[in-house]
Amino acid sequence: MKTVRIILDTNVLYAGLYSADGASYQVLRAIERGQVRIVVSTTLLFEYEDVLYRKQAELGLSDQDIDAVLDNLCDMGDHQRIYFLWRPFLPDPKDDHVLEAAVASHTPTIVTHNIKDFKGIAKAFDVRAIPPKDRLEEIR
C-alpha cells in the first residue's frame, strides 16, 4: 500500500478532534495507521497550536492532550521549510501558508472543509483541495 501525502488544513484537524463520527476523524485515524502522511510547516504547526488552545474547552482537551496531539503530528509528519512565498494568491491571506506548504513540498493535495477558499490552485500550482470524505474514498 502506497502512503499518500497531504496537507491537513486546521479545520479538518479541529473537526476530527471534535467528533469521532465524521470523515475528518477518519482522516486522523488514517494518519495514525500510516495510510496518510501529513506535511507540516512551522507556520501550520503554530496555527494548529493556536486553534487547539483557543478551542480547548470545546474539544475537552487538557494542555497535555494538546501537546501530545502536536507532538504526534510532528512525529508522523514530514516537516517542510518554506524558502519562498506565493503571497498573496488566495482570497483569504490566512490560507496562503497552507498553499505554500503544498507547493514547497510538492504535495498534490490539501484536505480541507473550505474548498472554495482554494479556488484556482489546481490550474496555477497543480495542487487540489478536497474534503476529507474524498480523501477517504481515494484511500479505500
Domain annotation for the chain: domains and CATH numbers:
4-139 (3.40.50.1010)
How many whole angstroms separate alpha carbon 130 and alpha carbon 118? 9
pTM given for the model: 0.94
pLDDT at residue 79 in the model: 97
Average pLDDT of the residues in 65-92? 90
pLDDT at residue 138 in the model: 79
Average pLDDT of the residues in 65-78? 97
pLDDT at residue 34 in the model: 92
